[in-house]
Amino acid sequence: MQRIKKIIVFSHDKNNAPCYHGKMDKTNVKIIKHPLLSHKVALLRDYKTSTKEFRELVEEISVLMGYEALRDLPLQTITVKTPLEECRQDIVCDDCVAIIPILRAGLGMVEGILKLIPTAKIGHIGLYRDHDTCKPIEYYCKLPEKMNKKTAIIVDPMLATGQSVIKAISLVKASGCQKIKLISIIAAPEGIDAVSKAHPDVLVYLANQDRKLNEKYYILPGLGDAGDRIFGTE
């Protein structure tokens, strides 16, 4: 796994699209390097990939990324009887994970994480962007109970401006949760920077850091609209 050491600082290119130059330290951001992950992201980006394949790939990528993000789950030791002997073995503590998809694209990542930890509780956060202020407004937020005792895994495949993620993290923090992680497949430098500044205590797991946002806040090269591609609503 590679920790981001350098991130570039914001300006605009000749088409008035935001772009980055310069350097900052980001130790809360981890780009997961694995040949299978890179291969699957390449397939995901391809405009020819069908809705069915896209959905399957998002799930598979979520398994690979979730494996990394769940590395430090709390453990408890139990006694197990093998066919030969009794032994002590660590298992994951009960009820210690909440998966929180940001609607709607985040829903595509839930099944993948559930494959790793099927007993996880699931919360949902729905946000829309206010036309005048461009700020994310909450329209739905339902989180599991006892969030103060859980690790929250917020999932959203695309970290673009970071504004929705920042709001989602604030909502999860307001529930009392103290251990929050974000898994996004592809991120723009602008989003990484914004989330790291607003919530430096949150660990961010990425498969790829892309070049920049365009003037409509899509990630370049990105993969288009993740929600549309997952749900076939293009």
Provide the binding-site residues for ligand URA, judged by CB under 6 A.
105, 158, 160, 218-219, 222, 225-227
225 catalytically annotated: yes
Burial zone of 191 (CB within 10 Å; 0-12 exposed, 13-18 middle, 19+ buried): buried
User: Minimal distance in Å, beta carbon 99 to ligand URA?
Assistant: 19
β-bridge partners, 18: 12
25 catalytically annotated: no
Length of the chain: 234
User: Minimal distance in Å, beta carbon 95 to ligand URA?
Assistant: 32
8 Å CB contact between 104 and 145: no
Residue of 13, 46, 129, 233 with catalytic role: 129
Question: If you ran DSSP here, which 8-state letter would residue 17 be given?
Answer: -
User: Minimal distance in Å, beta carbon 226 to ligand URA?
Assistant: 4
Residue of 77, 79, 82, 133 with catalytic role: 133
- Spatial distance between the Cα atoms of 70 and 145, rounded to a whole number of angstroms: 20
3 catalytically annotated: no
Which residues have CB under 8 Å from 201's CB, separation 6+?
28, 180
151 catalytically annotated: no
Measured from the Cβ of residue 6, the count of other Cβ atoms closer than 10 Å reads: 9
- Spatial distance between the Cα atoms of 170 and 165, rounded to a whole number of angstroms: 9
The tokens describing 224, both together, are 């288009």
User: Minimal distance in Å, beta carbon 227 to ligand URA?
Assistant: 6
Q: Which residues are catalytic?
A: 129, 133, 225, 228
